[in-house]
Structure formats: C-alpha cells, structure tokens
Structure 1
Amino acid sequence: MTRIDHRLFAALALSLSLHLLPFLPDAVKSPSKPETARPLQAELRSPPPVDQPPPLLKLPEPPRPVDSLKPRPAKPNQANTPKSFNQAVREHLKKLDAAGQFYPAEAIARGLEGDVQVLLVLDESGKVVAARVEQSCGHAFLDEAALKAVRSLSSIPADSPRDTLLWLRFRLK
C-alpha cells in the first residue's frame, strides 16, 4: 500500500511541476528575441462578377387621391375576362405551356426543375408594370422563363392586387 502512495505522490508532483512550468522565470527558458507584431494590411477588392444582375424594379408613381375616386375604365372584352386574378394567371400559363413557350427547351434537355418566386406589380388597369425574381430556383434558364411568362400576362381583371408574389413551378413530365 505504501508503493501506491508513492506513485500517487510522484504523479501529483509531476503534474504540478508541468502546470507551473509556464510561470517559471525566463532563466529556465532559452532567451529569444521578442516578436513584434506585424502591421495589419487590408485591401478592397471588387466583388466577384455575377452572371446576370437582378433586373431593377421600376414602380409606378402612386395614384393621387383624386384619381382613386374615379371609376376604373371598363375593358371592351369584359365578357372574356376570367373571374379572378388566379384564374387569369393559370389560364395564361396553360396557354404558354400548350404553345411550348413556358418551359425552356434547353432546361428540359438538361433536366432542370425548380420553383421560382416572382414579384409582380400591376397598374390600375391590370397591366404588368414590373416583375422581378424574389427567390431563384438556382437555374438562370428557369428564372428568365418565369420572368418572361409573368411579363407577358394580359387580360388581368382590373380589381387584381397591385403587387403580389407568384410561385411558378417547373417540373418535367
């Protein structure tokens, strides 16, 4: 049992000496030149090039209060206009898809799929004033196709929301 006590004491002394070693004076350590801090150097670099910058969103001037009291002009083809904004958008996108103008051929060839969120801004008559990609799917072909499809919207009801977010889904059949 005394051997165990000596071993424990030796381990404790060794541990203590190793922990105190950094605090010993410099006489024990080899003398070395003190390091001087190098000056910090920084430089500005231009940002990396982006394939295509996001298109700028141009908003129309807000209507004056006097104009908002006037009734909206009726469209001549009011009977052919869909009942709601959602129906108008769906019908337009179905027409584009049926004509082969919605899904880009190159994206189909590459097998690209994704969902694109587009901000759409309409004027009082329901005409598309501005559109931009809010959330990309990561494929420039699909982002451009979504913008092209949304910008070509027509026959939108005049009582549609002035700005809205649309999700366009590109899926291979």
Structure 2
Amino acid sequence: MLRTHRFLLPAFCVSLLIHAAPFLAGNWLASEAPPAPRPPPLQAQLQALPPVPELIVPEPPKPSPAQPATRPTTPEKHGATSSAWTQTIREQFARQQQAGLFYPAEAIRLGLEGEALVFMMLDANGNVVAARIEAGSGHDLLDQAALEAVRRLRALPADAPLEVLLPVRFRLN
C-alpha cells in the first residue's frame, strides 16, 4: 500500500501544477496572436436592368409578280394560312375556357379584367417549353392564369415561331 502512495502523490502534484499554471501565469504561457483586422464593410450598388429587346415576328415573304406563288415545303396541320398557329392557340384557349381552366373563378367573382403579355418558347413538336410574364395585367391572379394557360398549349403547327410574345386577354362579357 505504501508503494502505491509513493507514486500517486508526486503524480497528483505534477497534475495540479499543470492545471493551475494557466491561471497563475496569466498570458505568459499562452502567446496570443494579435486579432486580425476587420474586413471593410460590404458595399452594393443597384444597376438598371438592360432593356429587354422586343421580339418581332417576321412576316412571311410576299411573292413578287415575276415569281409564281409557291406553297411552303413543311406540312401544316391546320391549313395553309400563315396565322394557323394563332388560330390554334385561340381554339386551345377556348377549350380551356369550356373546361373552366382559363379564366379563374375568383377573378370572375372579383370582376378582374386585364391583359398579360407572355413570352413563350416552343420546342420542335410545338409544345411550350418555357413561359414568363413580360408585362403583367395588374392582377397576380390573372398573370398566373395566363402563364398556366400558355403552359397547357400543345402541338402548335409547324409555322409557329419558336419564340413569341403572346398577349393573353381576360375580358368579362
């Protein structure tokens, strides 16, 4: 038993000195680095957005009197007129209205009217792959309804442009 106490007492004293040294010596044992300089405060500037270019859909070339009129080489699903795609959009919007999907019931109840200008992009099959509001109607409810109506468009004719600004009008009778 005596042999065990002989090793424990010096170990206890050494441990006590090691643990008490930081409190007794203060900053003498711990060398602290000077604090890092504070970074300068962040600064931000607002810049005006660049103007969005207006998309102008080119008119189909008119045949000159010297050249005979030729039919387009791409087959069209809805006739040979150059506005077949706009007629198709009108028909699809009418079907959405008949199904109660076009004009929101809440907007009708509130008597909201307006016109939203929607930018849409089509894929090669004539389906809408992207749409965004370019100019709102003044009512979020109508803007969201216009986006949803445009996103539901399917299988537009081959003569439809791949990118177009489409006005979507909401009018009460």
Superposition TM-score, scaled by structure 2 size:
0.53
Contact 1:88 1:155 in 2 (8 A): no
Contact 1:126 1:159 in 2 (8 A): no
Aligned to 1:158: 158
Return the alpha-carbon distance in structure 2 between the equivalents of residues 118 and 44 of structure 1. Answer: 35
Aligned to 1:108: 108
Cα offset, 1:130, TM superposition: 0.3
Aligned to 1:92: 92
Aligned to 2:122: 122
- 2:139 is equivalent to residue 139 of structure 1: yes
Return the alpha-carbon distance in structure 2 between the equivalents of residues 116 and 44 of structure 1. Answer: 37
Return the alpha-carbon distance in structure 2 between the equivalents of residues 100 and 44 of structure 1. Answer: 50
Contact 1:131 1:150 in 2 (8 A): yes
Give the aligned CA root-mean-square deviation in angstroms: 2.4
**What's the secondary structure of 1:85's corresponding residue?**
helix
Q: Which runs of 5+ in 1 are unaligned?
A: 1-42, 48-70
Cα offset, 1:44, TM superposition: 7.4
* Shift >3 Å, 4+ stretches: none
1:15-67 deviations in whole A, cap 9, x for unaligned? xxxxxxxxxxxxxxxxxxxxxxxxxxxx979x9xxxxxxxxxxxxxxxxxxxx
Q: Which runs of 5+ in 2 are unaligned?
A: 1-41, 47-72
Return the alpha-carbon distance in structure 1 between the equivalents of residues 103 and 43 of structure 2. Answer: 41
Aligned length: 101
- What amino acid is the match of 1:166? L
1:71-104 deviations in whole A, cap 9, x for unaligned? 98x8xxx7xx433111110100010111111100
- What amino acid is the match of 2:158? A
Aligned to 2:78: 82
Percent identity between matched residues is 47
User: Highest CA radius of gyration, 1 or 2?
Assistant: 2
